[in-house]
Structure 1
Amino acid sequence: MTVDTPSTSSTAEVTGERADLLAELAQSRHFLRFTTRGLTDEQARMRTTASALCLGGLIKHVTQVEKGWVDFILNGTSAMKNFADMTEEDYAARTAEFELLPGETLAGVLEAYEEVARRTDEVVATLPDLGVAHPLPEAPWFQPGVRWSARRALIHIVAETAQHAGHADIIRESLDGAKSMG
């Protein structure tokens, strides 16, 4: 197994906890991207299980999740909408996040993912304090009044990426029998 290494020069010298976070995130990203190897855009749009998920949509979703949580780390609660303030357009955009839409390409979503990954790696390497915390936005899935540190948000990004890499593995195996992690 090869693990992607952070591509920015400032991440090359990272050690300790930050290096561990970057290594785990790189491994999960690798497995997620690996599920799309050799696929056409049409294959990346296919829903091959009872789930509504497709590989291109999973890449888009994980890209948005990672971007959103890094925005939260840098800008606090203002970077995320409160659930009660979400509009129909917000819900439609969230639904579209799980689809590779006409006009979108697998190469394009992978490129966007790589850009977000570079930014995240840079933040992990350079953020002065991983303990800086912000209150979570209001949402039914968050306990009221809870604060997350940058560290906790980064752990969530790793968990989300790993979870969706597993989903992607199942979708890919259902598509053509190819396995990524098994």
Structure 2
Amino acid sequence: MTISERVLTGERADLLQALGMHRGFLRHTVRGLTDAQAAARSTASELCLGGLIKHVTMVEHRWARFMVGGAEAMESEPVDWTGMFRMADDDTLADLLARYAETAARTDELITTLDLDVSHPLPVAPWFEPGASWSVRRTLLHVIGETAQHAGHADIIRESIDGAKTMG
């Protein structure tokens, strides 16, 4: 049974709706752009719209792995921390959006199937409290926050490119 065939209510429906809304804002922000526009740095920041799509995809993918298997699963794949914020010469916006959609579908499936109370110790990092654990629920709230924050960044970058606004 697919997610669309299930009737979800309550907390799981709320989590799916909130994450979906912010993903939608981010995808809307890049609508109609060329690859060159998606790769352009239009502000003082190193960020570009394609890079933000790439970053959010990677972040969501890694946290999905964490929800299933903890920090070890999350950290089991190498990450290009520098390259994830920019489009490589062979990246296209269409390909980045397709990978984002695949990642989103996987996360959505996890939201409907995982026990939201299961917790895993966080990876060791200076920005996490030592010894802290996050539940699947808390991890999803983090992914929602990350997506919303980067959708806001994307809106500013897009407005700098051609004046278009996600919400205006």
What TM-score comes out, normalization by structure 1 length?
0.88
What is the rounded CA distance, in whole Å, between the counterparts of 1:169 and 1:53 in structure 2? 12
- Residues in 2 aligned to 1:60 and 1:10: alpha-carbon distance in whole angstroms: 24
State the partner residue of 1:170: 156
Distance of 1:108 and 1:81 partners within structure 2: 24
Query: Quick check: 1:28–1:161 contact (8 Å CA) kept in 2?
Result: yes
- In the alignment, does 2:138 pair up with 1:139? no
1:1-182 to structure 2, matched below 5 A, reads 9-11=2-4, 12-81=6-75, 90=79, 93-127=80-114, 129-182=115-168
Q: How high is the sequence identity, in percent, across the aligned residues?
A: 59
Separation (CA, whole Å) in 2 of partners of 1:156 and 1:10: 22
- Two-structure CA RMSD over aligned residues (Å): 1.5
Runs of 4+ residues deviating >4 angstroms: none
For residues 142 and 56 of structure 2, the distance between their equivalents in structure 1, rounded to whole angstroms, comes to 11
Q: CA deviation at 1:80?
A: 3.0
Once the two structures are superposed, what CA deviation does each residue of 1:59-95 show, in whole Å capped at 9, x if it has no partner? Answer: 000000000001000011102339xxxxxx85xx111
Structure 1 gap ranges (5+): 1-7, 83-88
TM-score, normalised relative to structure 2: 0.95
The answer (yes or no) to whether the contact 2:15–2:140 under 8 Å persists in 1 is yes
Deviation (angstroms), 1:14: 1.4
